[in-house]
Structure 1
Amino acid sequence: MPKYAILIVEDPAYYAGLSPEDWPAVVAAHGTFVQKVSELGGSLTGGEALAPPSSATTIKRGGEVVDGPFLSTREAVNGYYVIEARDRDHAIEIATWCPAPAPGGGVEVRPVVDPSSNPF
């Protein structure tokens, strides 16, 4: 089955203001998503939460190293999953279950590139 990345795109400020009592609900929502992937006939091959964009270091072409994210934007990729799905429509069906609890948050679904071919 082809692989797809599900990128969780949200405003990281939401998590900075989240109370310690609210964090378990976020974790539980992701646990439910992981379970739903297999219920829908897909498989999870990886995924992680990412530290806030303020922790990023960007290395630009030519070797310039800059503290902070590559782009200055309100939303950032806060985590990702890699799934195997039958096709794009199946990957989208699975991705609709991926939690993005921050207001205005969402997910982006992209095929993972097979390195033996050029997708561009």
Structure 2
Amino acid sequence: MTRYLVAIHRAHDYDPSTEDEAMGREISALNVEMVEAGVRAFVGGLQPTSRAKSLRLGPGGQVLVTDGPYLETKEYVGGFWVLETAGLDEALEWGRRAAIACKAHVEVRPFH
């Protein structure tokens, strides 16, 4: 079994209050199906980037802590699954279903 990250990407100004009950039910049903299929290793939703802290290695080995995300982008990872699947095709199928349930762009990437 190979582990894959299935990451949900959201616009930087995404408002989670726009998610309706139907979307919540779709995501919950997908989580149940992943557990029943034995592929879900971990799942997590993330707070908005305004809650992030970034750590950067500065001069002399000092670590600098700043508010906000590490990268300034138009999209950010809003949540993710770590799946254990037989291969890429299966991971992509779960990613397709995640894109539908979350109504968002999804990235599927294998772990080393």
| Shared fold per TM-score greater than 0.5 | yes
**For structure 1, which runs of at least 5 residues remain unmatched after alignment?**
114-120
Q: Which residue matches 1:57?
A: 53
Q: Which residue matches 1:7?
A: 7
Cα shift readout 1:9-32 (whole Å, capped 9, x = no counterpart): 11153325527xx2x333212112
CA distance in 2, matches of 1:44, 1:15: 26
Q: Is the 8 A contact 2:56 2:65 kept in 1?
A: yes
The equivalent position to 1:36 in structure 2, one of 33, 37, 46, is 33
CA RMSD in angstroms, aligned pairs only: 1.9
1:46 Cα offset (Å):
0.5
TM-score when normalising by structure 1: 0.77
1:80 Cα offset (Å):
0.4
CA distance in 2, matches of 1:86, 1:64: 41
Q: Is the 8 A contact 1:42 1:86 kept in 2?
A: no
SS in 2 for 1:97: helix
CA distance in 1, matches of 2:65, 2:35: 41
CA distance in 2, matches of 1:59, 1:51: 17
Greater strand fraction, Structure 1 or Structure 2: 2
Summarize the alignment of residues 1-120 of structure 1 with structure 2, pairs less than 5 Å apart: 1-16=1-16, 18=18, 22=20, 24-37=21-34, 41-62=37-58, 63-98=63-98, 99-101=101-103, 105-113=104-112
Aligned structure 1 segments of 4 or more residues deviating by more than 6 angstroms: none
Greater helix fraction, Structure 1 or Structure 2: 2
Cα 1:16–1:97, aligned 2, differ >3 Å: closer, same or farther?
Answer: closer
TM-score when normalising by structure 2: 0.82
